[in-house]
Every structure is written in structure tokens, then in C-alpha cells.
A and B are shown apart, each in its own frame.
Chain A
């Protein structure tokens, strides 16, 4: 063979080898008896990474031979990444899921039924939410709700009394109007204009988001319209507009931390981030209208149905959702609430410092509005509602037009 032909053959062989190398299997350390599992999460993102590390370290100490690799992603990217991983079969052994997608994951067989879990340690409603046909498919990892934060210093300066659980929309609006001080750059109120705020406001107004059959919307009602007016009416009056940055990540928390926001609707997961605030702040149950209704969210973790280490993965999932280390770590850090059934374990939560009125977190659980869930088109439904409300907030549509358009578009997606 001439040199040129040899060169040609070698190049061809190298190209094939490079292409095939991408397909080769990953190594396994099963022979040594050591087990490594991967856990992909968003729940620790944004300030609780070290707290998660502490729980993982405690698990590894109790279970020699099991190593947990943790991958943490921001919430905004997490579900796109998870879906891509599921499609490619590269998902972690244990991963966070959301209630909104739970049904689809069970139907598509991507999460494994868990074997012999003691569900009595979990709050019944939370454990039940993640079971299907008598099998437990995921374990609740925490729950949280949304409360009304307020800057007590700004209330004092304005000579107003603090929000209480008896407040209604009227009281909140009156206070916001008085607290807003455009010249000083202080806003009276902030409530995101989004699906998650809207479905709750509809419940507060005494209406329903979905019709009973779950196949069409019911928010195109007087209650639904007054809920939209409640949210939209804040923008540009007592609350910053999208042009001023409303709706961008961390905008509202920065505003509140800077002392430029008197009232703020946000989740209790912000307690930790506000620990160092330079002013006095507290929380109250969110004001209602016709009735009180507070949002409750729960996160959960599931074991991949294609995991090769299901036993170790489930052991970790149970530890992360029910161990005393988890309860202590979460309570100490103010990192949402442990999903445990034994309320006495939660008692220390009331004594953990700011905010003083932690009782509001439990009071809010008395009137809960759960997010509406549809079988198909959940994300689209949420996007449409947020988009139409934003149009109304920007003044490009009237509230009536926006709600009518949202109802028509959502019906087309979920029907």
C-alpha cells in the first residue's frame, strides 16, 4: 500500500472510532459493592444548597457505601432539563417533581412505584396527592404557602396599623394607596401578575377557576373578572409596571429588601433570604374577598423507573422527606415546611425568630386553594392566563377582553 492509501485507511478508521466512542456504555462500580446515586433538584436552589448538603451528608453517614451526587438547577430551567433528560433516558435516579406534572409522569411510566413506604409519617393530604391506584409514586419533600409580607417600619412611618388575618382586599388596597410614595420610590404593594396568583384570587372572590368536569374554564364569571381587576389594578398604581422591571427574577425580593416595598405577596420560602433585612418585617394571612383562600404548594421527589439502584434511591428519598435531620435542618433554616404528620415536630418552627407571626403560616392552611390541574396542556393554560393578564396590566386590553380571550384560548387547549 502506498503511504497515501495507508493514510486514507487510518483516517477512516479514526473517524469511525470517534463516532462509536460516543455510544459506548458508562462504567459501573457495582462490583465493589459501593453504590452511587444521582439526585437532581431545584428545591435547594437560591440559598438552601448547604442545607441540602447537610441532609445528604447525614444520609451518607447512616448508609455507608451509598454516595449521593447532587445536581442543583434553578427552578426556571429545571423542568425543561428534566423533560429533556427523560426523553433521552439520562435522568437522575432520584429527582424533584411538581404536583402539576405528577399525573403525566405516572401515565408515561417514568417514575417507579415505591415499595412498602410508611406513609403515616407524612401529612395525609400530601401523601395522598402523590399516590395513584393504591401505589405511592412519589414522596412529598416539603410544603409551603403564600402569605402577605409587610415592612413594619413603613407602616409605622405612615401611622397605619399592621395587616391582620381579618383584612380583606379593601383594607389592603386602602393601606397600599397610603403607603405608596412615588417621590421616595416606595411602592405600596406587590403581587405577581401570574396564573398562580390569579387562580387563588378567583377563589378569594368566591369563584371557580375550572368547571366541574375539568374540561373547560369557569373564570369568565363576575368573580373571575373581579379577581383579575384586583391583580391588574395594582400595576402602575401602587405596584411597579413590567417596564420598571416587575416580573423579572429577584426584582420583588430586592425591592422588599431595599425597604422600598410596604406589602408583598410571596411564599414562606423567602424567610431565610429576609433574615438579614435592616428593618422590621412580619407576615399575615393573605387578605381575602368573599372568603379567605391561601395558596399551598408541595414539592415531591420520585425515583426514576429506569434507575438501576432503586433500593438505595428509595432509601435516600425517604430520608430526604422524613428523617429527623431533615426536619431539624428545614426548621432551623426556615426552608419551607417539613411534610411530616406529627404537628408537635413543627412546634419549634413558631420559635425560630423573624417573622414573629409564624402562626400565620399555619392559620393560612385552614383555607387552602389548590392549583387547578388539567390532564393535558397544564403549562399552556398557565402561560395563556399569565399572558392575557399581563396584556390587561399593560393597558393593551381591558380586563373583560383579556379574561374573555384567556377563557377562549384555554378552553381550546384543555377541552
Chain B
């Protein structure tokens, strides 16, 4: 159930507070009891439409999966209690290690690429240039395109025999790799397609951050004789750190959950070279009928994501600047 809490009297510590209701909804600090209950009701009315689906479709399945993870279950037969055996066997299973390593490989390759790429485009599109709005739209287009479409297009672009990428490489005398058919290149192919698709998202967040930087900071720096590089390092990047933090947290979580592009581009192959954790969960459940182990693996992933996110939130004090 949802616990009703008295309205917060202070603003939250969220980096970018989002105002969701009219100002008059905020309860006065020393309101009467009846008034406070009424405010609680009103706030809940706004929250319920999202809280109920969240409970039904996220929290219930999450704890259902925890229950399933303690059983051996093929989805259609009877469930057999096995306690923590699924966790124990997964912990020593080379397939699990491979899935986590491949996921880490994906994140390490994807995150710098998408951040630096997104930042470069955001900086370019923040300056005065013709067709700026049009270009912003173009870069955002892949973000709102279905992964299935994007994956099919990239599969063709990167087709070892007929793909345009290897064709162009051939023109300059490079014998292009097997891309998604070669275990060495399958993950780089996925990283490339993913970074391309998500560039627009990172760009939009960073662009908003850039526009919030007061112009007088740059003016003062100019007066002090700072060059472009000095301004970027000493003003832009520190002032952008809250947006950077947001991008990194979201991208990391998405990175751990990478699935659509893997499923559509390689299915985890060849020979498991791009098998990531969520693809492994999918295969265990829907191909092999091992829902207990799949649920245990999901919870292992959840705990890893939670831990990494908590570490980031603690670490942000050191470098994120909310001035």
C-alpha cells in the first residue's frame, strides 16, 4: 500500500527539482490537522495514477521474481523450492561470468563514446549557427526510433559482405572486419549502433545544461583573458556537472539493462560473444524454461545496479557542482 506522508516542508535535495503542482498546493508549515489531511488527499490523487501502475507492474512482479528465484520452475509446471541454490549455481556458472563481463564491456565502450559524442554535438549546437533547430531535431530522431528498426538498419550497414561500411573501408584499402558475425567485433558493432542512437538524448540533456550557464561568467572570463579551452575546462564542464551526473547515472542503468539492440542485432552471438545479462535472462526464461535461475539472475543484476548507483550518489559530492 501507499503510505501517505505529510507534505514536505523543505524542498527536496533532488538536483533538479521538478515542480508538479500549483504553488498553492503546498501546505503551510503550521496548518490545522483537517487541512493537512485534505492536502494529503489532494497530493495522493495526483500520485495515485502513477503509483498504482508502478505497484502493479513493477513492485509486484519484482517481489514475485524474488519468490520465483527461490524455486526451480519451467513456467508451466509445478514450482519446486530450492532455496538459494539458483544463486549459488549462477555464481559459479561461466555463462553468468561471461554475461556480466560482456555487459561491463558494453558499458565501458558505450559510456565514453556517447558522452563525448553528445557533448561535442551539444557544444556545436549551442553556438549560433544556421538551421540549429533543424539539426537538433535530426540528432534527436534516432532516440525516438524503434530499436528494431535501428538494429535492422545497422545490421545492413555493417553487413560484412554487402554493407556500406565495409564498402567504404574497401575504397580506402581497408579490409573491413566481419562486424556482427565475428566474435571479436560483435560487441563493438552493438556499442557503435547504441552510441549513435543515444547521442541525441545525451545532447538534449547537456544542451539544457549549457543554456543554464549564465553568460556573464563567460564575459568575466573573457575580460580576464581566458581562451576557449580555458573557458571549457574552468566554466563549462564544472557548471555542466549536474547534467553530466544525470547522464552518467541514467546511461549506466540503461547500460546494465542493455537488451533490445543485442536481441535484434546478434541475439547474443556469435558463440555468446555479445551475450549480456538481460539477454541471458531472456534465454533462460523463454528458450530454456528455467524461470527460477532467470529470476535469480535478474535480482543479481538489480543488486549490482543498486550498488553502483548508490556509489555514484555518494561520489557525486566530490565532483558535482550545484552552485
Nearest CB of chain B from residue A355's CB, rounded to whole Å: 31
A244 to B161, CA, bound (A): 6
Task: Flag whether B80 is at the interface (Cβ < 8 A).
Answer: no
Contact B52 A2 (CB under 8 A): no
- Which residues of chain A have C-beta atoms less than 8 A from B42's C-beta? 4-5, 7-8
A292 to B52: give the CA distance in the assembly, Å: 63
A109 to B269, CA, bound (A): 34
Which residues in B have their C-beta under 8 angstroms from that of A18? 52
Q: Are B161 and A243 in contact (CB under 8 A)?
A: yes
User: What is the minimal beta-carbon distance from A405 to any residue of chain B, in angstroms?
Assistant: 10
Contact B76 A110 (CB under 8 A): yes
B44-A12 in contact (CB<8A): yes
Distance of A336 from chain B, by nearest CB (Å): 25
> A184 interface residue, CB < 8 Å from B?
no
A387 touches which of B38, B75, B271 (Cβ 8 Å): B271
Q: Does B272 belong to the interface (CB within 8 Å)?
A: yes
Q: Which residue of chain B lies nearest to A88 when distances are taken between CB atoms in the complex? A: B75
B289 close to A (CB within 8 Å): yes
Determine whether A30 belongs to the interface, using a CB cutoff of 8 Å to chain B: no
A18 to B52 CA separation, bound complex (whole angstroms) = 10
Taking A5-B38, A5-B42 as contacts, is the C-beta distance between A104 and B74 under 8 angstroms? yes
A16 contacts B52, C-beta separation under 8 Å: yes
Say whether B161 contacts A396, CB under 8 Å: no
B229 on the A face (CB < 8 A):
no
Digit string of A229-241 for contact with B (CB within 8 Å is 1, else 0)? 0000000000000
Q: Which of A87, A383, A394 is in CB contact (< 8 Å) with B76?
A: A87
A108 within 8 A of B: yes
Complex Cα distance, B284 from A377, in Å, reads 11
Is B45 touching A396 in the complex (CB atoms < 8 A)? Answer: no
Q: Is B287 an interface residue (CB 8 A)?
A: yes
Q: Say yes or no: is A80 at the interface (Cβ < 8 Å to chain B).
A: yes
**A1-54 CB contacts (< 8 Å) to partner B:** 2, 4-5, 7-9, 11-12, 15-16, 18-19
**B275 CB to nearest A CB, Å:** 11
Q: Which residues of A contact B48 (CB under 8 A)?
A: 11-12, 15
Q: Is B134 an interface residue (CB 8 A)?
A: no
**B42 nearest in chain A by CB position:** A8
In the bound complex, residues from chain B placing their C-beta under 8 Å from that of A245 are 161
Judging by beta carbons under 8 Å apart, are B44 and A8 in contact?
A: yes
Name the distance in Å between B118's Cβ and chain A's nearest Cβ.
Answer: 33
Inter-chain contact B45/A87, CB cutoff 8 Å: no
Given contacts A83-B286, A243-B181, is CB(A390)–CB(B49) below 8 Å?
no
In contact, B74 and A390 (Cβ under 8 angstroms): no
A193: min CB distance to chain B, Å? 12
Chain A contacts of B41 at CB under 8 A? 5, 8-9, 12
* A86 CB-CB contact with B under 8 Å: yes
> Across the two chains, which residue of chain B brings its CB closest to A413?
B288
Q: How far is the CB of B80 from chain A (nearest CB, A)?
A: 12
Verify B289–A83 contact, CB threshold 8 A. Answer: yes
Chain B residues 17-60 with CB under 8 Å of chain A are 38, 41-42, 44-46, 48-49, 52-53, 56
Q: Is the CB of A108 within 8 A of B77?
A: yes
Give the A interface residue count (CB, 8 A).
36
Interface residues of chain A: helix, strand, loop or mixed (majority): helix
Q: Which residues of A (59-100) have their CB < 8 Å from a CB of B?
A: 80, 83-84, 86-87
**Is B209 at the interface (CB under 8 A from chain A)?**
no
Cβ-based interface call for B270 (8 A): yes
Closest B residue by C-beta to A91 = B76
Q: Is the CB of A12 within 8 A of B56?
A: no
* B52 engages A108 (CB within 8 Å): no
**Residues of A101-116 contacting chain B, CB below 8 A:** 104-105, 107-110
Give per-residue flags for B177-207: 1 if the beta carbon is below 8 A from chain A beta carbons, else 0: 0100101000000000000000000000000
**Contact flag A242-B181 (CB < 8 Å), given A83-B76, A110-B76, A391-B271:** yes
Which residues of chain B have C-beta atoms less than 8 A from A254's C-beta? none
Choose one: B52, B78, B270, B287; the contact of A383 (CB below 8 Å). B287
Q: How far is the CA of A87 from the CA of B79 in the complex (A)?
A: 12
A170 interfacial contact with B, CB 8 Å: no
B77 A394 Cβ-Cβ under 8 A: no
Check if B160 is an interface residue, CB within 8 A of chain A. Answer: yes
B74 touches A108 (CB 8 A): yes
Q: Interface digits, B287-299 against A, CB 8 Å rule (1 contact, 0 not)?
A: 1110100000000
Which chain A residues border B75 with CB–CB below 8 Å?
Answer: 83-84, 86-87
Q: Whose C-beta in chain A lies nearest to the C-beta of B38?
A: A5
Q: Are A80 and B286 in contact (CB under 8 A)?
A: yes
**Residue from A8, A16, A19, A390 within 8 A of B270 (CB atoms):** A390
Q: Which 7 residue pairs spanning A and B have beta carbons closest together? A: A108-B77, A8-B45, A87-B75, A11-B45, A243-B160, A86-B76, A15-B48
Q: Which residues of B contact A (CB under 8 A)?
A: 38, 41-42, 44-46, 48-49, 52-53, 56, 74-78, 160-161, 178, 181, 183, 269-272, 286-289, 291
User: What are 6 A-B interface contacts by the 8 Å CB criterion?
Assistant: A8-B41, A8-B44, A18-B52, A104-B74, A104-B76, A390-B271
Since A9-B41, A108-B74 are in contact, a sample of 16 more A-B pairs with Cβ atoms closer than 8 Å, ordered by chain A residue number, is A5-B41, A7-B45, A8-B41, A12-B45, A15-B48, A83-B76, A83-B289, A84-B286, A104-B76, A108-B77, A243-B160, A243-B161, A243-B178, A244-B161, A377-B288, A380-B287
